[in-house]
Amino acid sequence: MNILIVEDEAVIAKHLQYTLRGFGYESIFLAGDYVQAIDILKDQIVHLALLDISLGGYRTGIDVAEYIRQNFNFPFIFLTSHEELPIVNAALNTSPNAFLNKPFKNISVYTAVSLALKNYKDNIAGKNESEERNEESIVIQDALFIKEKNVFTKIFLNEILYIRSDDNYLELHTPDKKYTIRETLKNMIQQLPDNQFFRTHKSFIVNLNAITAINYIHLMIGEIEIPITADNRSELLGKLNTFS
């Protein structure tokens, strides 16, 4: 999971980064102001943001939050030492997933991050499928169009080897490239032809034509091991021509 910390005080940012890594979150981006934060959001996949309300410069953490709400779909937490009601209300208007007051303790960081992620996932799970559907992918007949920087790139379905889920993101693996989109595995498998794609595990979809071997706990796509549950293995074997 990728986390973005937007904090203009370097010591606090580094301490928070160190604290999060102690909880097992390794991929962490640091930004000191609004411009740096937007650049990271445009270039990287982010799953969670921790935003200081007060930043050096004209733009604040509230402006970053508004940008996230307008352009993305992931949770964020405000870091604050403010007690002024107008500032707190302005922050609340962006619908943050949690607040973390400075100076913060390790347990407070852990609790805020865990609750923000849980509440966000519960909210996503409670939406119906039409609300869950993200317009970063379009499937038509034998091709999938992936949105990359406002341009839809065409990928033929037979080029996709497998699809891996990472929370609300999907990694689409082809022989030459990996594509990342914001989408759920549930929505994706419903759009793909079931005579060509199969869900082997809660986190994986495979192209049946790409499978090179199957054992009791994995199937192989070349040198790549894909996990498969016992029930799904039995169903998969029923779809394939197997001899013993």
In percent, how much of the chain has pLDDT > 90?
A: 42
The number of folded domains in the chain is 2
Q: Among residues 126, 153, 181, which one ends one of the domains?
A: 126
Q: Indicate whether 244 belongs to any domain.
A: no
Q: Indicate whether 182 belongs to any domain.
A: yes
Same domain, 146 and 117: no
Q: Indicate whether 72 belongs to any domain.
A: yes
Same domain, 102 and 198: no
Give dist(CA 206, CA 196) in Å, integer: 8
Tell me the residue range of the domain where 161 lies: 135-239
Residues 6+ apart with CB under 8 A from 151: none
Tell me the pLDDT tens digit for each residue of 175-225.
Answer: 999 988 888 888 888 888 888 999 999 999 999 999 999 998 899 999 999
Q: Residue 14 above 90 pLDDT?
A: yes
Tell me the pLDDT tens digit for each residue of 126-173.
Answer: 554 444 444 455 555 688 878 776 677 888 999 999 999 987 789 999
Same domain, 139 and 179: yes
Same domain, 10 and 101: yes
Q: What is the pLDDT of residue 101?
A: 87
Domain of 220: which CATH number?
2.40.50.1020
Same domain, 152 and 224: yes
Q: What is the pLDDT of residue 130?
A: 41
Cα 106 to the chain's mean position, in Å?
A: 24
Q: What is the pLDDT of residue 238?
A: 83
- Reported pTM: 0.53
Q: Residue 104 above 80 pLDDT?
A: yes
Same domain, 119 and 169: no
Measuring CA to CA, which residue among 16, 1, 31 is closest to residue 117?
A: 1
Same domain, 111 and 27: yes
Q: Which 3 state secondary structure label does DSSP give 219?
A: strand
Domain of 35: which CATH number?
3.40.50.2300
Helices and strands counted in the chain (H then E): 8, 16
Output the furthest CA–CA distance in the chain (Å, rounded): 73
pLDDT, the chain, mean: 85
Q: What is the pLDDT of residue 15?
A: 93
